Chains A and B, each alone.
Chain A
Amino acid sequence: MQAVTKTTQATPKPAKSDHPSGDRRFKTLDMTMKRHQYKPDALIEVLHKAQESFGFLEEDVLTYIARGLKLPLSKVYGTATFYHLFSLKPNGAHTCVVCLGTACYVKGSNKVSAALEEELGIKLGETTADGKISLMAARCIGACGIAPAVVFDGTVAGKQEPEMALAKVKDWELE
């Protein structure tokens, strides 16, 4: 793999699929597609990589992937919108994921999510207008022992009361 990467970089003129913007993240995409020999069935792998490096899948990126793997645009769009892991809109600077799995729900995570929705003025799955906070829901994150659980920027916090979650989010809002 290392050797392949090096030859790509050593080539004097850019590879045919290089993105005109010169954004280096497209290079990462090229490498991933090359690793999969530009096979159309690598679509999900490549979308994962794109989601990882861009944070979300904008139209430009989807078109680029479709051209690279020689796939129809509608198929790429259909696949990207089917899976919840892919997001077509940018996420906020902070993310707050409320677990609504059975255990957390029974322990009152619906009250936590309702309080957060009211505080932020958005619904689950949306991002605040200022792009600061994304509020999301998950169906069981495997932390049932500390239900109700909320994930603040990738850190799991257990036994959350609505007030505790609100305090954390208010800190973010003041930043």
Chain B
Amino acid sequence: MSVKTLKINGVDIAIEEGATVLQAARQAGVPIPTLCHLDGVHDVGACRLCLVEVSGTRKLLPACVTEVAEGMEVQTNTPKLQEYRRMTVELLFSEGNHVCSVCVANGNCELQDVAIQVGMDHSRFTYRFPDRAVDISHPQFGIDHNRCILCTRCVRVCDEIEGAHVWDVAQRGAACYIVSGLNQPWGEVDACTSCGKCVDACPTGAIFRKGSTTGEKERDRAKLDFLVTAREKHEWTR
């Protein structure tokens, strides 16, 4: 396999062909904030937090779905990107109903972490306060759509790792929501194996284990990685 060389923030990096800019940056120890990226499932470039500047194009490119190319020059933390990232996070907060103080994921939430990382202390946009539902029909888990940022990690993890494809995105535009089965209550979906991978995948407190209260959500993210390695490479690493 051939190797591509590129520069990220002026540092030379060599990585195999077909890798993404995000992988190259991670390998070089350059932090790029992400929300919809999840190790072990394919990338969709939905959250736009990993946008980077590549010289030669005026467009900002999502690092998670952009393949490395020979001689590429990437900037990951310009003032323009910092401004855009903060705006993206502000929009995420104003789009849903994110109330950290009463959320199961408080202190253990990737949306919260990213907000701190990009330096967002308030949202300049008007909150939408959408009318969203909570589904606690499943005996073990619940989904609170108020806290959902539509990263579709649960959709991909259920489809690609568990293989059940319980989740998908219904409707369009501002009316989008994560749907289980044929718009059935989660507890009534036959396909669900109650494996709990979506709980581990969810970056916020939208999908949670019943019985956990404020700030109590715990995830075993490494489990997903372990399962993918086991399935694809037949290596059991834990």
Residues of A within 8 A of B (CB): 59, 62-63, 66, 72-78, 81-82
- A62-B182, A73-B182, A74-B181 known; A82+B191 contact, CB < 8 A: no
Q: Chain B at the A interface: mostly helix, strand, loop or mixed?
A: loop
A62 to B: closest C-beta gap in Å: 6
A9 to B230, CA, bound (A): 48
Task: Check B165–A63 contact: CB distance below 8 A.
Answer: no
Which listed residue (A62, A77, A81) contacts B172, Cβ 8 A?
A81
A87 to B: closest C-beta gap in Å: 13
| B167 on interface, CB distance cutoff 8 Å | yes
**Using an 8 Å CB-CB cutoff, how does the interface string of B148-180 with A read, 1 for contact, 0 for none?**
000000000001000011111111100000011
How many A-B pairs have beta carbons closer than 8 Å: the answer is 44
B207 to A: closest C-beta gap in Å: 14
Number of chain B interface residues as a range? 10 to 19
B192 to A: closest C-beta gap in Å: 10
| B183 on interface, CB distance cutoff 8 Å | yes
What residues of chain B lie closer than 8 Å to A74, measured between beta carbons?
165-168, 170, 179-182
Task: Check B181–A82 contact: CB distance below 8 A.
Answer: no
A selection of 22 A-B contacts at a CB cut-off of 8 Å is A59-B182, A62-B182, A63-B182, A72-B159, A72-B164, A72-B166, A72-B168, A73-B184, A73-B191, A74-B165, A74-B167, A74-B170, A74-B179, A74-B182, A76-B182, A77-B170, A77-B181, A77-B183, A78-B179, A81-B170, A81-B172, A81-B179
Task: Check A72–B165 contact: CB distance below 8 A.
Answer: yes
Task: Check A81–B182 contact: CB distance below 8 A.
Answer: no
What are the 8 A-B residue pairs with the smallest beta carbon separation, nearest first? A72-B165, A74-B168, A78-B168, A73-B182, A81-B170, A73-B181, A81-B171, A78-B170
A11 to B165, CA, bound (A): 35
A127 to B159, CA, bound (A): 36
